[in-house]
Structure 1
């Protein structure tokens, strides 16, 4: 479930990237940030699939999905100015792909947290048995 949420998030960000880059064609721009988000989400999903049950893999997935969801919500509800290489990305509307990305990130975040906590319990149980 975590990997699926991350992959849905990646696909949506790649689909939206080109239009968001139009505002800053020569700079880092929101489109390039979306592409970076997509690549990192795919890498986190691959790590999770290849290292299933690994606490570090779940932690990376949790950071990726939770970070994406946090950024989406912050830029939806708060008008932050541009800072450093990051553009101002305030967008106070919901539309289908944005809503779907939020749902995918929320599902991936919850599943990654559950996996992380369960992996920690497995480590504690196996350590207690030794």
Structure 2
């Protein structure tokens, strides 16, 4: 189970890192044209970049505490925060009628829920 948790956590961290970098470094008009990016047309540039930075921090929070053995409990806590971010993303996509991209949000939410359950209940890090 530990290996499965590491794989899912790693995949989630990659998603967060890539998504965050896209939001931080892609011009807002270009983001608004991308699938699932319609919401950026009405959001401030600061909001988009802040969400991107939070996603990059989530990527770090999913991996570094466990790898460095400094507060590994932060891994499932970060996964809880990622879950809340995905719920918010689903609400925004529903509001904007972007129903196709919600599937990805649901998958990421389920992955995060698995990490939360796995690291709090099944295979918590020894501390």
Q: Structure 1 length as normaliser, TM-score?
A: 0.57
> Alpha-carbon deviations, 1:35-85, whole Å to 9, x = none?
111101111111221123833222223313x2332222212333xxxxxxx
Written as runs of structure 1 = structure 2, the 5 A alignment for 1:41-56 is 41-52=55-66, 54-56=72-74
2:81 counterpart of 1:63: yes
Structure 1, unaligned stretches of length 5 or more? 24-28, 79-90
Using the alignment, how far apart are the partners of 1:22 and 1:76 within structure 2?
A: 13
Q: Give the structure 2 partner of residue 7 of structure 1.
A: 17
CA RMSD, aligned part only? 3.3
- CA change 1:4–1:111 in 2 (3 A) is same
Using the alignment, how far apart are the partners of 1:113 and 1:12 within structure 2?
A: 24
Using the alignment, how far apart are the partners of 1:114 and 1:67 within structure 2?
A: 14
Written as runs of structure 1 = structure 2, the 5 A alignment for 1:1-130 is 1-14=11-24, 18-19=28-29, 29-52=43-66, 54-64=72-82, 66-78=83-95, 91-93=96-98, 99=101, 103=104, 105-121=105-121, 122-123=123-124
Larger-gyration structure (1/2): 1
How much does 1:119 deviate?
Answer: 1.7
Highest RCO, 1 vs 2 (Cα 8 Å, sep ≥ 6)? 1
Q: Structure 2 length as normaliser, TM-score?
A: 0.58
Structure 2, unaligned stretches of length 5 or more? 1-10, 33-39
- CA change 1:114–1:46 in 2 (3 A) is same
Q: Give the structure 2 partner of residue 88 of structure 1.
A: none
